[in-house]
Chains A and B, each alone.
Chain A
Amino acid sequence: MSLTSLAPAVAEIWMVFAICAVLLTDVFAGERRRGLTPTLTLLALALGAALTVQYGQVSGRMVLFDGMFVADELGWALKLAGFLIVAVALLYSRAYLENRAILRGEYYVLSLTALLGIFVLVSANSLLTLYLGVELLALSVYSMVAFDRESGVAAESAMKYFVLGAIASGALLYGMSLIYGLTGTLDLGEIAARLHGPASLGLILGLTFIVVAVAFKLGAVPFHMWLPDVYEGAPTSVTLFISTAPKIAYFALALRLLAYGLQGAVAEWSQMLGVLAVLTLVVGNVVAIVQTNLKRMLAYSAIANVGFIVLGFVAGTPEGYSAALYYTLVYVLVTLGSFGVILLAGRKGFEADRLDDYRGLYQRDPLLALAMMVLMFSTAGVPPFVGFWAKLRIFQVLWESGHLWLVVIAAAMSVVGAFYYLRVIKLMYFDPPAQALPPTVRAPAVRFALGLNALAVLVLGLLPGPLLDLCARLIH
C-alpha cells in the first residue's frame, strides 16, 4: 500500500495527528496560555478541511483497508461539513466556556475525537467500522455532557445518556451479530449482495434491533427519552455540539446501514420507520408546546425534525435519501444558530435557557433577536427561509412514493410546530422585558459569525438550487 493510496483517508489521519498535537500542546501550555488550545483547534480544523479538499476528493467509489473503509463523494462532503460545523460550534462556545471557567483543553480534544468518530462512521463500509465510529463518537459526547463537573444536573444527564446509550449500542451490536450470522460477512456491500428474496424471521429480528438503535441515536419516538434531559442538563455549548455534528453522523449511519447494506429489506424497515416517523412528529411537536425551557423546547423540536428526516428514509428511494440529507444539513445550519443565540444571551449564573428569559430580547439586543427570528421562521418552514425547502422536499418525495397519509400528517404537524416557534418570536418582539437581566455577550467575532449564519439561512432560502443539486448528486 503506497502513501498516495491513503489519500482518501486524509481527513481521519490528519485528525489523529491533530488530536495528539492539541492534547500535548494543552498539557505544556498549561494554565497560563489558556487561549492557545481553542485557536490551535480551529487552525487544525481549517487545515484539515483544506487537506481534505486538496487530497481527499475521489471520483466514484473507492474501498480501502480490506473493505473496512469506503471513500466516496458523499463521505467527502460530509467530512467537510463536519469540519465546518465543529469549527462553528467551537467558535460560538468559546465565550461561554470562558465565562463559566470550564475552558479546558480536554473540551477541545473531546470535540476532535467526536469528530474523528463522525468521520469513521461516515466512511464505514463494514459493520465493525460502523460500530467503531458510533462508539468513538458516543463516548466523547458522554464525557462532554458531564464536562461541567460542578453541575449536578449535567452529571445526571450524562449518566442517563450513558446508560441508555449503552443499551442502544448493545441493541446495535446484537442486531449486527444476527445480520452477520445470516450473511456470514461484515462487509456492507457483501451483505447487500447476499440479502435478497423475502426477508427471513432472523433478518427481521436483526433489523428490528438495528432500527431501534438507529432510532435511539437519532432521537425518534419512542426512543427519545434521553434527548430532552440531555439537551436541558448539558452545558449549552455541549447541547449545541450534540444537536448538530452528530446528526450528520447518524444520518450516515442510517444511510450506510439501512439504505445501503440492508437495501434488500427496504420494505420491512421503511414500514418500521414509517410508524416511528408518525409517532416522532406527533410527540415532538405536541410536547414542545408545553415546554417552558427553551433548551428543552428545542430538544422536542429536534425530535420533531428527526421525524421529517426519518420520513425521507421512509420513501425508500435515492430521492428520499437526498431529501433526508438536505433536511439534515438545513436542520444543522439552523440549530447552530439557535443555540448560538442562547450562548450569547446568557452570562455566568444566568443561563438564558427559560423561555421567559427571552421576553423583550428585541429591546435588549436587536441583532440577536433578529437572528433568532430568522431561525425560528426557518424551522417553522416559512419562506423565504431555507427550512421551507427542506419540508417541501420531504413532501415531494412522499408524494412521489405514494404516501398520502404521511403527507397529511406531516403537513398538519408542521402547523402545530409553527405555534411554538412563533411563541419565541412573540416573546422576543411583542413582550416588554420582564426584569433587569444581565446584558448579552458582546463578542464581535461570534456575532459576526452568527449574523452570517442567519444570512445563510435567508440566502439558501432565496436560492435553494445549488444545495439541492449537491444533495441529489451526493446520493446519486
Chain B
Amino acid sequence: MPHLLSILIWLPIVAGLAVLALGERRIAAGRWLSLGASLVTLALTVPLWSAFDTGTAALQFVEKLAWIPRFQAYYALGVDGISLPLIVLTAFMTVPVVIAAWTVIVARPAQYYAAFLIMEGLMIGVFSASDALLFYFFWEAMLIPMFLIIGIWGGPRRVYATIKFFLYTFLGSVFMLAALIYMYVKAGDYSIASMQALPLTLVEQRWIFLAFLLAFAVKVPMFPVHTWLPDAHVEAPTGGSVILAAIMLKMGGYGFLRFSLPVTPDASRELDLLVIALSLVAVIYIGFVALVQQDMKKLIAYSSIAHMGFVTLGAFVIYEIVRSTGSSHGAGMGLDGAMVQMISHGLISGALFLCVGVLYDRVHSRLIADYGGVVNTMPVFATFMVLFALANTGLPGTSGFVGEFLVIIASFRASFWYAALAALTLILGACYTLWLVKRVVFGAVANPKVAALEDLNPRELVVLGALAVAVLAVGIWPAPLLKVMQPTIHHLLSQAIATKL
C-alpha cells in the first residue's frame, strides 16, 4: 500500500478533527467514529508489520516530499526496526484509551476523543519522521494535546501539573532544537541520516550530546529531571496517564537510540558513565521512593521511572561492554533489552493505569488506604491486576521479564556491579508492586465502598483482556519482535561504537 505511513499519521488526525466538528451534541456518533478510526489505524499496522523486510536495516516505506525547499527540509518518512514496534505500540494503546473513556468522560467528550486521536497521529509522526525538522515538528506539536488533556480532564492540581509538564519538556526540547539547527548549518540539510553521517569534533559532540540528553532525559524521564512525571500522572485522566506512560516516555528512549548514539558516538562513549549512573539511581533510588507512596498512580509513576532506567542503562552499557571485553560481542543485547523493555513497559504500565482507572471510576479515590480486599468483590479484575503486577515485577513468561533479563545480562558482561545493582530492581520492584497488590486487592473487605464494588463490565474486560494477551505474547514468544529489530540494532551498534573523529 503506498503512503502507508502518511495514512497512519493523518487518518487519526483527520478523524480527530471530524469528531471535533461533530461536536458534543452528536457525541454518540463521535464515539463510534473515534473507535472506528483507532481500530482502522491499528489494522493498518498489520500490513506495515507483515510487509516489513526483516533482512535490512535500511528505512522502509519511505516517503519523501519537498516541504521547505529553502532549508532542504523534507516531509520524509520511513520506518526501521526501532520505529516499527513503537508505531504498532502507539496504534495498539490508543484503542483501549478510546474504549476506556466510553462512559467515563462526561465533560466535553468530543474534545477528549479528538485530542487523543490527534495525539496518536502526531506520535506516529515522531516515530516515522526521517527528517529532523519534521521529527521536531511532531515532537513539539504533541505537547499541545497532552497539555490540554491534563489541564481540562485532570484532577484537582491539574493546572500545576500540566504547566510543569509543558515547561519541563519545552525546556529540554528547545536546546535539542538549537543542536539540530547547528548540525543543519554544518550539514546543509535536516535529514537524520546526514546528521548521523556528519563528522563532528569531540567538543561539538559533547555539547550536542548534552543538548540531546536534556531533551531526552526529561522525556524518559531520568533522575533528576523526573519530578514532572509523578505530578502529571497523578493529575492526568486515565487515558492521559496511559498514553503518557505507554508512549510519550518511549520517545525519550527512542531519541537516545535515533540521535544520541549514532550522531554523537564519541561523546556517548565519553559520557556513558554519567547516563549509566543516572539510570542506576533511577532504578534503585526511585524504587525506594515508589515503596513509600500512598497514591496508586504515583506509585506506578515512580515504578515507570525505575523501569525506564533499564532502557537508558541498556542503551549506554554497550560502551562499557566494549571497554571491558574489548569487543562489541554481546553489546547488541543491551540495545535489544532496551527496545523490548520499552515495548513491554508500554503495555504493562498502560495496563496498570487502566486498572487504577477501573477502581477510580467506582470509588473516586486513588489512595491505597481507601482500598483492601477488592478480590472479594471483583475477582475477575483482581486476576488481571495481579497478572499485570507480576509482569511489572518481571515474572518470567510475561513481557516484563524479557527486557529486564536482556539488560541485566548485558550489564553483567560490562561489570558484575552494574548487573548486581540493576538486579536490585527485581527485589525492589517485587516489593512495591506486590505490596501494592496486597494492600489493594487482597485481605478482608476494608470498607463499605469496596463491598459495593461491581466487577468488570464487558467493555473493561475487552480492554484488559487484550492487554493481558499482549503482555503474555511478548513474554512467551518475543522472537518475532526481536527478529524485526535485529538488523537495525546491529546497524545501530556499529554506528554507536564507530568513531567520528
Contacts and interface: CB of A to CB of B under 8 A. Distances in A.
A407 B167 contact: no
A245 to B, nearest CB: 27
A464 B144 CA distance: 19
B124 to A, nearest CB: 15
A399 B182 contact: yes
A388 interface: yes
Contacts of B177: 392, 395, 411
Nearest to B139: A383
B137 A411 contact: no
B193 interface: no
B120 to A, nearest CB: 16
Interface stretch (A71-79, A210-218, A414-422): A414-422
Contact of A382 (B144, B148, B184, B185): B144
Interface stretch (B65-73, B313-321, B399-407): B65-73
Interface string B146-184: 011001100000110011001100110011011001101
A407 B178 contact: yes
B167 A419 contact: yes
Contacts of A469: 69-70
B273 interface: no
Given A392-B177, A415-B167, A419-B167, A430 B152 contact: yes
B68 A464 contact: yes
A384 to B, nearest CB: 5
Given A399-B181, A411-B174, A415-B167, A429 B140 contact: no
* A interface: dominant SS: helix
Interface centre among A383, A408, A431, A472 (most CB of B within 10 A): A383
B178 A395 contact: yes
A422 B171 CA distance: 14
Interface residues of A, number: 31
A98 interface: no
A400 B186 CA distance: 9
A383 B141 contact: yes
B143 interface: yes
Interface string A443-476: 0000000000000000000011100110010000
Contacts of A395: 177-178, 181
Contact of B174 (A384, A396, A415, A464): A415
B136 interface: yes
Nearest to B150: A430
A202 to B, nearest CB: 37
Contacts of A69: none
B147 A422 contact: yes
Given A382-B143, A399-B185, A465-B70, A430 B166 contact: no
A248 to B, nearest CB: 22
Nearest to A423: B163
B152 A418 contact: no
B171 A415 contact: yes
Contacts of A465: 66-70
Nearest to B108: A362
Interface in A357-399: 377, 382-384, 388, 392, 395-396, 399
A473 to B, nearest CB: 10
Contact of A396 (B138, B170, B181): B181
A426 interface: yes
Nearest to B153: A430
Given A383-B141, A430-B152, A465-B69, A418 B185 contact: no
A425 B143 CA distance: 14
Nearest 3 pairs of A and B residues by beta carbon: A411-B174, A430-B151, A465-B68
Interface of A: 377, 382-384, 388, 392, 395-396, 399-400, 407-408, 411-412, 414-415, 418-419, 422-423, 425-426, 429-431, 463-465, 468-469, 472
